[in-house]
Each structure stands twice: as structure tokens, then as C-alpha cells.
Structure 1
Amino acid sequence: MSYATEKLREEKVFKDPVHRYVHVRDRVIWDLIGTKEFQRLRRIKQLGTTYLTFHGAEHSRFAHSLGVYEIVHRIVDDVFKGRQGWDESDRLLSLCAALLHDLGHGPFSHAFEKVFQLDHEHFTQAIILGDTEVNKVLSAVDKDFPKKVAEVIAKTSDKKLVVSLISSQIDADRMDYLLRDAYYTGVSYGHFDIERIMRVMRPTEDQVVFKKSGMHAVEDYIMSRYQMYWQVYFHPVSRSAEVILQKILQRVKVLYENSYEFKHEPIHFLSFFQGQPTLEDYLKLDEAIVLYYFQVWQEEDDQILKDLSRRFLNRHLFKYIEFDPAKEYKMFMELVPLFKMAGIDPDYYLVLDSSSDLPYDFYRPGEEGERLPIQLIMPNGDFRELSRESEIVEAISGKRRTDHKLYYPADLLRDESTNQPTKRQIKQLLGVADKY
């Protein structure tokens, strides 16, 4: 028996609050879970700063990755098995890509990436293809297998059906994170009938498609995703925490570039400041390490770094107002010098933050980031794009929703012991004068 087909003597089972159980029978999958690179995902939260808004949101990318694997495992071993259009030789490739798709995420993923101009997908490729335990396991299947897995995750593989299982407008990744994030945040928005959706999935050469009889379950999924983005993922309080986190990292980078003498040298960040982080440096960073630095930076002499670190750790977040950059940018330009006059650095304490989402998109050939539409199989065997059959989905198709907020430190404006007239003028411009 080859390593690629080797089974464990006894099936391993993870208890899971979302899927009840995660089943592992393949030796390759079990060995991948045991690698240090995969175990690192236990120390990366799935939802970044969201735990400061929804206190239950402490779940990890490790749990999510197992969940995505379990969904794909059920699809390929139960739903697709024996069906025309499914190549059984792609089974292990699908399972490994599902398990490893988030391998390159860093601490507080998107905020961290934005400051240091990183891409977690780049690091996912680097882990799979580099000198790592994960690479050793995949290479034991076949010397070209790591490259095949990396290509599926990067969406460059010619195995389009396998790619669509992991990354499309309705895929195992999205289905798990919607259900998992809804469970741990305690909201009701993200729930949909995943069992029904999986039962109506069918394999084709290019993508997963869905029987028309399951359209209402797919509609429910689309609307669940829409609600979760605006009620959870773009929650303004979570965004406030993310803004502060970005500003802490931005401040540390600026201090380093200006030869500031840290009381606690940020050795884990040095290669990031220099713009040349190695894979080894990247893998050493997790959220426990970052939070340790936030703790010690409260003792630094730099008042901005000290204040921002305290704010994040103690949840003293910025307040916000609704803000339309197109109509109110003049007001923003008036606020910048006023903040400076009040002794509040606008680079760190006056922040415009934007959130944008496209809940569902129909086919737009040739566009950058082209998205394959969700296809329904009609009773006569024809394919129909989802929004042509569903009035609900048609209503939101191709419509990008964008939200802008302006964040500021209400407590510093409330303290009128200094710069009283300027602070009052700032509050009048922000439209919050009556609140103090």
C-alpha cells in the first residue's frame, strides 16, 4: 500500500461543535495535522479582533481548517463518489488543499498584512513548497504533490472542479466559516442548511453545480453571508479595535525607522520592519507573541505607542461617526489641523476606515478577479445561472455595498482641561458636541 492510500488502523475523530465530528482515516491527513506549521493555527484566531465585540469569538484557524476539510471529505467521499464528472484520483488533492488553505495566515491576519504589505496566500505557498514539515509530508505522496496542492489553493490549477470546492462563490471554506463564526459569536444570521446544500451538489468538469430543487437552500446561504458581513465581519466596534491594532504596528515601525531606543526591543518584528521577513520569522509570530509586545509597549516612553497599546489591551476603543468621503472630505481636511492644534496626532487618532462587500456576482467575462457564477441544473439537464432563477439573489447581484466610518478618541476630546476651544470646535465638526 502506498503512502497516498494508506489508512490509519483506527479512524481518528475530533469533536466539533459545528459539524459534530471531524473524521480522519487517511494517514496523510493525520500527519499533516500533526505538523508544527498546522499546529501553529491553534494560536491564530479566526476572527482577529472580533472577540472584543462578540466575546465568544475565540475560535482558531485550526478549528476552521479542520471544518473545511470535513466538509470536503463528506462531499468527495459521500456525494461525489461514483458520479460522472468526478475523478477519484483527485480525492487526496481535494482533502489536502481543504485542510491547508489557510496555512499562511498571520496574527490578526488582515490588519497585520496591511501594515507590513504582506499576503497570507504567498506564505501559504511558501509553507507548502518550502523546507517545512508540511512539505515533507506532501512530498512523501509524490515529489510533485506539494506543487499540485499549492496550485489548487492559488486557483492556478487546471483541476477547476477541485479549485471550486475550496474557492468559489459557494465553497467549503465559506460554508464552514459562516456556520462556525455564527456559532461562536452567538448570532443567528449565519445559519443555513448545509446538509441540504451538500446533497444537491453535483460535479462537472469546471465547477461544482447545484440541483434546481436545492435552490432555496443556496438562496439561504447567500443571504446568510450577506447578513454576516454587515452584522459581524464589518461590525464598527471590531473595526475600531482593528484600526487601533494597525496604528500600534504602524507606530512601532515608524519608531524603528527613526532609531527609537525601545525598552523592550521588538526582535520578532525586525525583519518585517526591514521589509524582508523570512518564512522562519513569519512562522515564529502568533497572536500570543503580538499580545506580549502590546503588554510591554505600555511601559515605553513614547506616549502614542503606550496609549494605543493600553487602549487595545483594555478595550478603550475609538468612537466613530458615519462618514461619506465624497461629500465630507472637506470636513476631514478641516479636522486634521484642529487635531494637531489640540495636541492629538491625526495620523494615529483620526482614521477613516472603509468596508466593502459584493454578496453575489454574476459572470463578467474578462474582468479582474472574475468570479464564476453559481449554476443550477434544471430538471431537463440544462444549466441556469442562479440569479436568473432566484428573485432574491437577483435583487443583490452585482451590487457592491460600501460603508465608511471616521474613528476618533472621544475620551481625549472629552478632557477639556487643555485646548478647550479647539476640542469644542472638533466636536462640533464631528457632530458629537451634544454628547459631552
Structure 2
Amino acid sequence: MKLIRDPIHGYIRISDKLLQIISSPLFQRLRYIKQTGLAYLVYPGMNHTRFEHSIGVMHLAKEFTRFINENSNIDFVNDDFIELIGLAGLLHDIGHMPFSHTFENALILAKDVYGMNVYEEGKKTHVKIGEKIIGEYLNDLIDNNFSESVSDPVKFLQKVMNETPETKEEKFATLIISNFVDADRGDYLLRDSYYAGVSYGEFDVERLKRFLVFIDGKIAILSKAVPIVEQFLLSRMYMYENVYFHSVVGLYNAIISHAIVKILEKGISIPDSEEDFKKFTDYFIISNLYDINNKFRDAILFRKGFMRVKKDIIGQCFDEFSNLKQELYKDMRESNGLFIYHEFNDVPYYEEKDDAVFVFDGNEVNKLTSISLIARSLKEIKKAIIGFHYSEKNKAEKYIKKLQSCNTIGP
């Protein structure tokens, strides 16, 4: 047993079995993958990585499971199963590529804007790569240490990671790791808020985890904890509006996305071997900046050369610009990425048949929106920005005029 001192959760206990995974080179690689892309160019403290986030998710996943079991007495939950849940949290981001989701955005850009033939699965690309890492590179280590509670722990982890659960155990684990109120969001809201130096992402995680139950195959909150869940959902919305969707953060993540496309054009691709994947870090991309247009290098390393139109594209104006995508894509191609159009989009909360936060009042289970006015009021967040290198100001002018003339009031 080891202890890790974490600034968010305090001391985190690490079992010997989980320590073997943490000590593996493929997990240690996450030390060199920034959690929030280039957000540190705006929020200087946001230099934290997928490494500490993954350990935080492991911790919360185990904590949530323990308290749910205390409140519900689930027949399949025991100490070994809790360790397996912790492993699912630990490995949920093992497939992330340099600069995290920004690399996935670069792959989409390469395909949709530049017409390149690249492998991409949208925001799930890192999930598919993670499945491969677990199934091909970490499988022996996992099988040797985590076979007590399920017969095939590798398949279990892959099903949970891909959100395609079949058994009751897999469904439970999926809800713990990936839900509206889950261990992943629970850690990144607190952690990203802490390192950004803001309070938007704070919520009472200690109280929240004590009011979780498992009933009718669903993880639900006790009705007395509804205000905490409302706080959680608002925290997520505020973090997206003020930090993740900060216009300048978006600009620099878009710049490095175009830079990654240029690196891909030189024949570099997602590694297909364990040894090469170990080297696939932020530093790998930064080292390759010197082999492409130095305007990207100067922007990313020294924050020089690019400007942002200081008027966000929102409301009716967003819809008008969305109709101009092909023209915008053409101008981005012709400028070799020195003219940039970048969209942000997120839905803080929505409900479908089996996709919701559930509330248990002691008698029945209801969806959150039947109880919470705040949950009913949460709307889609969407906006776009225009940026350009000073050498491409002329290409941006026509869009600046359009932006000045269109209506940007309200969604």
C-alpha cells in the first residue's frame, strides 16, 4: 500500500495491484499529456496532466462505490470489485494523445477541412486507442492482478471504457465512470478549477458521495442531495463558459490543431506499437513544431503572431456562420491554417429515456428535471471565434464585417 498526496483529495491510498499499473511506462506517459491542452497560455497554473487526473478518478470511483454499497448493499460489490472499479477509473484516459482532446480536434480538422485520410472517432478516438492499449499492451498485467471479481477483467474494462456494458457489473461501473454525475467529471471540475485559480468548478463532493444509492439498476441521489447535484451541474456549465470555452484558450487550441495537421501531412501518424506510443506525448508534438511553419511554433511557444476578433459569434450570428462552413473551410485551407474559425459546443444537461440524473425520495425514483427548476433551465452552450495570423488579416476582413453586421443577441 502506498499513499499519494493530492492537492484535491488529500491522501489517496494506492493498493499494490493498482501501483503496478501506475508504475507501468504506458501510464507514466500520462505525466506528459496536458489535461487541458494549451489552456495554460491563458491560465498559467493549468499545467496539470492526465496522470494526476486519472489517479483522482480512480480515487473517486472507489469512494463512490463504497458509499453506494453502504447505502444499498449490492450483492456483487466487494473489496476486489472496488479495486476493479478503481482500475477502470485509473485507465479511462490511458488512450489520450498529445494535448488531450485537442489532438482529437486536429484529426477532425485534418479530415473535414484538409481532406486527409486519417483515423478518427471524434471525441471517442482516445477511447478506441485506450481499448487497444488495455487489450494488447496491459492485458497480462491486468489479468494477473484483477481476475478475482470478474472472469475477464480486460473485456470488462473495454466495455466500461466504450460505454457498451452487458452485465450488471459492467453497467454499474459505466455509471460510476461516465454519467452526468460521475468520478470523471467530479475530479476534473475540482482539479481544473483549482489549477485555473477559479472557484467555478467547486462543489461539495464529500456530501455528494454520501448520498448516492443504487436502485432499479440505476445510480440515484437521495432527494436531500438535489441542491448538491444542482451545484455540480452549474459548476460544469460555469467551467465550460469561463475556462474551457474561453475565447483565447479556444484560439490557441485551434492553432495547435492546425499545427498538428501540418505535422500529420509530413507522414507522422498515431503510433501502432507500444514502444512508439510511449513517446507520443506533448513533447513529441512540440519537438516537431520546428519542422513546420515557424508561425505556428512562435504562436504556441511564445504566444506571438496570432490575433482574435474580439467579438464572439453567438446567437443568430452563430447560425449564420454555421451556414458558411464550406467557405470558412476553404479559407482555412488556402491560408494553411493561418486563418482560423473555431466552434465551441456543449450541453450541460439533458435527459433521455435511460440517460438522466435520478432522484430517490425513499419511495420512488424520478428524473432530476421533474424536481429541479435549475436542471430544466440548463441550455446548450455554443459559440464560435475567428482568429488569424497578422499576415492573413485580409482573409479575415470579410468575416469581420459580417460579424459586425449580424445579430449576436441571445441563443
TM-score (norm 2): 0.83
1:137 aligns with 2:141: yes
The structure 2 residue matched to 1:181, chosen from 182, 185, 192, is 192
Q: CA deviation at 1:182?
A: 0.2
Structure 1 counterpart of 2:106, one-letter code: V
Aligned match of 1:101? 92
Find 1:404's aligned residue among 384, 396, 400. Answer: 384
Within 2, Cα distance between the matches of 1:70 and 1:38?
16
Q: Are 2:355 and 1:372 aligned?
A: yes
Matches within 5 A, 1:226-375: 226-254=237-265, 256=266, 270-272=268-270, 277-294=272-289, 296-297=290-291, 305-316=293-304, 317-320=306-309, 321-323=311-313, 324=317, 326-328=319-321, 345-363=334-352, 365=353, 372-375=355-358
Matched, 1:196 2:179: no
Q: Report whether the alignment pairs 1:127 with 2:133.
A: yes
Residue 16 of structure 1 corresponds to 6
Aligned-partner SS, 1:322: coil
Give, in whole Å, the separation in 2 of the partners of 1:330 and 1:154: 33
Deviations 1:193-237 (A, max 9, x none): 001110101123523110001110111001000100111111111
Does the 8 Å CA contact 1:161/1:205 hold for their aligned counterparts? no
Conserved 8 A contact 2:335-2:392: no
Query: Partner of 1:56: helix, strand, or coil?
Result: coil
Tell me the CA shift for residue 308 of structure 1: 1.5
Which amino acid is the alignment partner of residue 197 of structure 1? Answer: L
Q: CA deviation at 1:270?
A: 2.8
**Cα 1:204–1:279, aligned 2, differ >3 Å: closer, same or farther?**
farther
Q: SS state of the match for residue 344, structure 2?
A: strand
In 2, are the aligned partners of 1:244 and 1:312 still within 8 Å (CA)? yes
TM-aligned CA distance change 1:253 to 1:161, over 3 Å: closer
Greater RCO, 1 or 2 (C-alpha within 8 Å, sep 6+): 2
Match of 2:370 in 1: 388
The letter of the residue matching 1:313 is L
- With over 3 angstroms needed to count, the CA separation of the structure-2 counterparts of 1:34 and 1:336, relative to structure 1, is closer
> How far did residue 101 of structure 1 move?
0.6
Secondary structure of 1:80's match?
A: helix
Which structure 2 residues correspond to residues 16-165 of structure 1 after superposition, within 5 A? 16-24=6-14, 26-81=15-70, 83-85=72-74, 87-89=76-78, 90-116=81-107, 117-118=119-120, 119-130=125-136, 132=137, 134-140=138-144, 141-142=146-147, 144-157=152-165, 158=167, 159-165=170-176
Q: CA deviation at 1:336?
A: 9.2
Partner deviation per Cα, 1:78-137 (whole Å, 9 max, x = no partner) = 45247333522432321110111110001012222233343110111011100x2x3222
Secondary structure, in 3 states, of the residue corresponding to 1:376? strand
Cα distance in 2 for residues equivalent to 1:201 and 1:335: 47
Q: How far is the alpha carbon of 1:73 from its aligned partner?
A: 1.9
Identical pairs, percent: 27
Rounded to whole Å, the distance in 1 between the matches of 2:400 and 2:233 is 41
Alpha-carbon contact 1:192-1:221 (below 8 Å) kept = yes
TM-fit CA distance, 1:346: 3.0
1:241 and 1:95 map into 2 onto residues whose CA distance is 34
- Hey, what's the Cα distance between the residues in 1 that align with 2:348 and 2:154? 32
Q: 1:21 to 1:335 in 2, by over 3 A?
A: closer
Unaligned runs of 5+ in 2: 108-118, 405-411
CA contact (8 A) 1:271 1:281 kept: no
Distance in 1, matches of 2:320 and 2:203, equals 38
CA distance 1:92–1:428, change in 2 (3 Å): closer
> What's the CA shift for 1:423?
8.0
Kindly indicate whether residue 401 of structure 2 is the aligned counterpart of residue 429 of structure 1: yes
Deviation of 1:188 after TM superposition, in Å, equals 1.1
Distance 1:155 1:423, change over 3 A: closer
Q: Which has the larger radius of gyration?
A: 1
How far does residue 431 in structure 1 lie from its aligned partner after superposition? 6.9
Cα shift at 1:428: 6.7
Distance 1:333 1:271 in 2: 26
- Taking structure 1 as the reference length, the TM-score comes to 0.79
How far off its partner does 1:331 sit? 8.3
CA contact (8 A) 1:33 1:39 kept: yes
